[in-house]
Chains A and B, each alone.
Chain A
Amino acid sequence: MAELISDLLIQGAQMLLVLAIAPLVTGLVRSLKARLLRRQGPPIFQPYRDLARLLRKEATLAHNASWLFRATPYLVFSATWIAAALVPTFAAGMIFSWSADLIAIVALLGGARFFLALAGMDVGTAFGGIGTSREVMIAALAEPALIMIVFTVALIAGSTQLSTITTFMVSPEVGLRVSLGLALIALIMVALAENARMPIDNPATHLELTMVHEAMVLEYSGRHLALIELAASLKLIVYMSLIGCVFLPWGVAPATGGRDALLLGAAFYLGKLLASAVALAMFEVTIAKLRVFRAPDFIGAALMLGLLATLLRFVSEGL
């Protein structure tokens, strides 16, 4: 019984940690980018203030918005939050880690996008439609790329369970593999596309005809917008954790590891998030945004890399 309670506590701690830290990571990336561009930029806690402000304000709804439009922020938030709770962050092998494997996590994120894309069409405005149509185009290429990456990693680790993969990745059996390298590059490309980052989308712009994600959620306001923004931050942290636990698996504690190991794991995790945020900011200031119709080339390249990585695994398995 005591064991069950401690397991639940650790799981709960992870859920609260990702929720609490997600806006900070977003704020960190923003202010780092500003500093790199020699701007002063917003303080790194600005996203929290934005969320608080949005939550305080009343929500406005278009006259013809349906129940789907109101339910979507909650659905999107909860699907993303669950995905964030199931990806190992500071500890692997949590109590519910077996309930959804990596494929299911990808599908959960896909579900969040499905409803967000529908909400973009709900009010019946041109901006919402353009956001939706571009989002589904990007997703239609990014999702299979992600599945191919999952295949590669799963074939190497012999499992689609993220906790097992993480444990396997720290073991000496892994070694240096070409397919893993390809998968890492592909995963970073997919993560950029999925999080509406440069070079696919520009998170800093509003009201620009090339935008994707922002156009889709244009009609949202108040608490609904707060949830969607929080979900977007959570999604960024999901991908950072995913890259962390598969490709930089060092320091991830076993869930039964005791307090010291868990604290050490948390420290490692924060370090990884910091490193990813710095890398993301550096990358974003050095690259220009692609035209929308060049985006498929970028994500298509990720898909091809993922396919190549899987193919290499399939072929080398027989040797």
Chain B
Amino acid sequence: MASFEFAGVLPLTASLASIAVLFALCILALATLRIKASNALIYLSCFIASVALLASGAAHLFGGNAPEGLRLALGLPWLGAHFRLDALSSVFLVILNLGAASACVFAVGYGRHEHSRGRVLPFFPVFLAAMNLVILAADAFTFLVSWEFMSLSSWALVMAHHREPANARAGYIYILMASLGTIALLLAFGVLAGPTGAYDFASIRATPPAPWTAALVLVLVLIGAGSKAGLAPLHVWLPLAHPAAPSHVSALMSGVMTKVAVYGFIRVLFDLIGAPQWWWGLIVLVAGGLTAVLGVLFALIQTDLKRVLAYSTIENIGFIFVGLGLALAFEANGLPAAAALAFTAALFHAFNHMLFKSLLFFGSGAVLNATGSRNMEKQGGLIHRMPVTAFAFLVGCAAISALPPLNGFASEWLTLQAILWSPQLAEWPLKILTPGVGGLLALAAALAGACFVRAFGVVFLGRPRSREAAEAQEVDPWSLAAMGALAAMCLIVGLLPGFVIDALAPVTQAAVGARMSAQAEIPWLSIVPIAEGRSSYNGLLVFAFIVSSMTIAALTIHWLASRRLRRTPAWDCGFPDANPATQFSAGSVAQPIRRVFGNFMFRATEKVDMPPPGSTTPARFRVDISDRVWNALYAPIAGLVSYVAEKLNHLQFLTIRRYLGFVFASLVILLLALALWPS
């Protein structure tokens, strides 16, 4: 198959050139920091580079898609730097750069309010370039270096506002978890490369590891890529770090960087490692289901808007991993058509999540700019002050809550259809656990609806809870354009899911050896995952039905019935209270659900202090919530690390003689080890 050329340049070359431009933009940003226009200059240049990368990815995906490789004489001298553009990388290039391009547009407006520009502008292009390199890398060395670049540049962006006390802690935990992830990936590739040290992906692919080695790789990749994606229980850094960064970077970290992590997982497990075992699917499936419910439950009780979104990212990652786990299980069971369905659902959800999560983070950035606070308890009534932002945010909320006919529903529907195929799986543990995971997904989807009713309702509806919210102004046109474009895409993708499914077909073909049947030719643009009689869905028609029946209802009522309207004070059973504090707050909306799941998930304790009769001191109500994962897993490790560090601390104050003694002793031990090593 001939490769698609784009004005005489191959997509891979064009991509690498754009990445080089992004690195150059970092230097340009440093050089022009003092100039006022540098904000627009850098972000618009990044936008152009992202669009070029997006076009390269799309050109490869839609034209041809014969894999395209390149070796540059960089990096390790005997290895070089391998790059490769195949169907999988091209899909993720599209996901990544669509998110990046919209973030750049948003940032042109949003970045003007940035007070520490020097801590954001230079790192932003590097972050984009590093993510692109991870996706194009075709040897372990390039992959890991790019991965680490991605972690470090995003860490620098998280630390942009390092004087806020919570951010320093967020950055510290992030860098620790990122290092852990990289170590796990390093070991995974070490195991994959085998004793001969064949680090390029082509050699790894040619020699699949033995089953138990492969299991080790699975665990290591789950730790490495899973921690970056936010898979429970390695998610703790995510809700701290993502909100701490400037909002367009939060959008990139949540909407895009987690997808790069998903890419890493797919690249190893569906490409490099060879045929899967059924129980790999089981592990990934269960981890995904638990992650989804855990993420959304914690999202429900947060009062920081950006943290709500970060926890919801964890939920969506859970959805994606359930799809991937199902695909592994189906593939191991020799059901390629079902594997293709599950894999498509996962990729589709990754794409959708990029769209709506970026949109929602932009919205939260707009709210932050307009009111100066991320605290939901200080917002309210913004739908009147910021109508466009409110509408776009509402579309994002509806999409992430999987309401038809928006895009979130299409991908979650496909995931559920894949689960309905799973009784075909032969292994008993899968048979018993898959319906449980299906229940967890349904629970997570319903809780996500509750979570975003609360997020939108508290922030945009009701009465303003602070003066800043009452005086908020709509944000700049750049930000609005970015949000509007993403909201429109949420709708369009939801109406025409068939085209996305078809675009993903080459990837599923390469990854699981089958593809879903072509959807674009089905009459009325329905999607039919398996067979017509089994299930079908048509977003376009559902949308047309909703619009037409709303129109019919509105016209009939205005024609036949009263059209009069009168503005009055709120009714509220006759006792409306002028104080906005009498509204339901973010905490109180979540209270019933917190009580239902509270004791188990959050170990919530409620304490009421009633003053004695006659006393004028206020009554106090206090809720304490703790994260079980943090207490059970991280607190002991953190305690151990600081204990060891404390004990090792006195090594810092020794005399030179002792240091020389240590050096000598370690040399002797190393030589002894070499001498005694059984060769």
Contact = CB atoms under 8 A, between A and B. Distances in A.
Interface of A: 55-64, 66-68, 74-75, 77-79, 81-82, 85, 96, 98-101, 103-104, 107-108, 110-111, 113-114, 117-118, 120-130, 132-134, 136-137, 139-144, 147-148, 151, 154-155, 158-161, 164, 207, 218-219, 221-223, 226-227, 292-293, 296, 300, 303, 306-307, 310-311, 313-315, 317-318
Contact of A107 (B409, B419, B454): B409
Nearest to A96: B541
A75 B565 CA distance: 19
Nearest to B446: A143
25 contacts: A61-B568, A63-B570, A78-B549, A99-B545, A100-B537, A118-B461, A121-B583, A122-B461, A124-B461, A125-B571, A126-B577, A133-B589, A140-B447, A144-B442, A148-B439, A154-B420, A159-B535, A160-B417, A161-B533, A223-B557, A226-B557, A300-B596, A306-B439, A311-B435, A313-B423
Contact of A137 (B426, B434, B596): B596
Nearest to B564: A58
- Of the listed residues A64, A110, A227, the one surrounded by the most CB atoms of chain B closer than 10 A to its CB is A64
Given A58-B565, A66-B383, A151-B435, A130 B584 contact: yes
A126 B572 contact: yes
B453 A132 contact: yes
Given A74-B550, A99-B542, A110-B449, A292 B434 contact: no
B37 interface: no
A120 B454 CA distance: 11
A306 B440 CA distance: 12
Contacts, number: 297
Contact of B571 (A78, A101, A160, A219): A219
Nearest to B457: A121
Interface in B564-579: 564-573, 576-577
Given A59-B566, A118-B456, A129-B584, A79 B380 contact: no
B562 A101 contact: no
Contacts of A164: 533-534
A143 B448 CA distance: 11
B453 A114 contact: yes
A121 B584 contact: yes
Interface stretch (B140-148, B394-402, B655-663): B394-402
Contacts of B567: 60-63
The interface residues of chain A, by DSSP majority, are classed as helix
Interface residues of B, number: 88
B530 to A, nearest CB: 9
B550 A64 contact: no
Given A100-B542, A101-B537, A132-B453, A310 B438 contact: yes
Contacts of A108: 404, 542
Contact of B423 (A110, A126, A293, A318): A318
Contact of A56 (B384, B561, B580): B561
Nearest to A70: B565
Nearest to A51: B561
Nearest to A219: B571
